[in-house]
Amino acid sequence: MSLLGWPLVAVLATLTTAAVVAAMLLWTRVRGAPALRLAQRLGLLLGTQVTALLLVAAVVNDYGYFYGSWAELLGKDSKPTVVTVGGSGGASGASGPSTSALHVAGLHFAFKGHGIPKAVRAETIGDSARLAAAWAPPSQWASRGRLEAVTVQGARSGLSTPALVWLPPQYFQPAYRHTLFPVAEVLSGYPGTTTALVFRLHYPNVLLREIDAHRAKPTVLVMLRPTVAPPRDTECTNVPGGPQTLTYLTQDVPSAVEQLARVRPTGWAAIGASTGGYCATKMALTRSDLFPTAVSFSGYYHALKDGTTGDLWGGSSVLRDLNNPEWLVTHQTVPPVSLMMTIGTAERGPSGVADTRRFAALVHAPMTAHVIYVPGGGHNFGSWGYLMPGALDWVTNHLAGA
């Protein structure tokens, strides 16, 4: 049974009801010595509490997509799939550039190259693959765009993780046949799931609606989670002796996508929520040549260390500083990047509204920051979904002018 969806919730709701009914019926029927009767009643209470807690946890997880599978919940996917691919790929013996066909999980594009690249390979990815297959038939690609599930393999980092790629309708329209499209790399939070970016935050649907209304510009979306070495939270960091996550997101993914589709090699955007917002900000500050634009939904702007991260910097304060956006904007020459930051006023704690205000106060030219505070807004899909249309309008128009 899947960890997500109504079947698990229904089973747990049934068990919770049964536990409560059983406790009510058996409460006065326990037998034995006083200590034994007490133990039996405690057992009845414990049964109701455990089933109720499991039900609440399942409902919350189903809504928030915090864990997408039993393996992820139990930490059984702690070892990432590591596939090292040399170079940018290409068939040996090819002579001169030619137009070839690239098939990735049914994806069929024309691209200029020397052969079929190896940086992206097909993979059945459960919910992602089913979601992609149901998005739109070929007859609707020119009106709804196309969604495809792929796995991006990193030649430099050796990391590999699933992604969902959405191509806007214009990609399939004759007038745009030779257009290189801008790209937004969209990141979930931690631990996050890729499917939540489509099913809960509705990135492709919202962007499609905004494009149709002529408020947003046609943009390719590359959606993935930054948790590339689960269950560890790498905070999009090149960990000494560990996962090279920043390299993967800022070098491997762009290189692979550039081979996959007609996209611009530079002038991308990074978008993310929570941990993804921190990552998007860091990607813009450290790779402004590729990511001059970023959006951070409820992100934070300091280097984080907790039980999910461990020591990400090998004990080096220098590496910690280089992964701290607040330190970067105050101790290094800031790049000419544009950042949209959103935060709900109900978000408290060290990574809440006070952190956003502190970072915004540190921003200075040539960097620009657009800060949106949501009155009463919290750290949830509701607040981020409310801001999504305007944020996508802003970022895609920035990309169009890049």
Bridging pattern class, strands 269-273 and 220-224: unpaired
What pLDDT score was predicted for residue 127?
Answer: 56
CA distance 7 to 9: 5
Euclidean distance between the first and the last CA atom of the chain, given in angstroms as a whole number:
47
pLDDT in tens, 370-386: 998 888 778 888 888 88
DSSP count for the chain of H helices, then E strands: 14, 11
Bridging pattern class, strands 160-167 and 146-153: antiparallel
Parts of the chain with a pLDDT under 70 = 2-4, 61-131, 402
What pLDDT score was predicted for residue 120?
Answer: 39
